């Protein structure tokens, strides 16, 4: 995956990336060299997605682990499992360049992208 700018997602775009099922795997980096994984109930994760200030497609490593949806909770990234076969580059390309710039310009702590 080529390096790219941060891509802010809408709530609908983020929800569309979630796998089916009532339990969804996530992980956090608890220290620089340790990942801690856990399952979230679907409804709890949907609540977090609706409440967060920032949703984005993550970098190469988390996308390579199929956890490319990043939901910021408590000022920390939560890396969320995505549908099997999610094409992160395609998702990034589907957001027009002008819209991408508008989302980045509009994003600031405490402001949820529309």
What's the structural domain count of the chain?
A: 1
66 pLDDT band, cuts 50/70/90, is very high
User: Does some domain include residue 25?
Assistant: yes
Prediction pTM value: 0.78
Quote the tokens at residue 52.
């967060």
User: Does some domain include residue 23?
Assistant: yes
Selection from 7, 14, 6 nearest residue 80 by Cα: 14
Q: Is residue 40 within 8 Å of 28, Cβ to Cβ?
A: no
Range of the domain at 61: 7-106
User: Does some domain include residue 112?
Assistant: no
103 pLDDT band, cuts 50/70/90, is low
Helical ranges in 10-87 per DSSP H: 11-17, 42-51, 60-64
User: Does some domain include residue 47?
Assistant: yes
76 pLDDT band, cuts 50/70/90, is confident
Of 37-41, 61-65, 78-82, which gets the smallest average pLDDT? 61-65
User: CA-CA distance, 13 to 97, in Å (whole number)?
Assistant: 16
């Amino acid at each position: 995956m080529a390096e790219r700018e941060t891509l802010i997602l809408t709530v609908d775009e983020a929800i569309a990336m979630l796998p089916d099922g009532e339990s969804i795997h996530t992980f956090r980096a608890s220290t620089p060299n340790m990942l801690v994984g856990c399952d979230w109930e679907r409804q709890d994760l949907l609540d977090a997605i609706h409440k967060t200030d920032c949703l984005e497609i993550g970098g190469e490593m988390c996308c390579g682990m199929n956890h490319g949806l990043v939901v910021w909770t408590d000022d920390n990234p939560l890396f969320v499992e995505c549908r099997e076969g999610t094409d992160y580059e395609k998702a990034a390309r589907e957001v027009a360049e002008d819209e991408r710039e508008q989302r980045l310009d509009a994003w600031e702590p405490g402001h949820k992208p529309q």
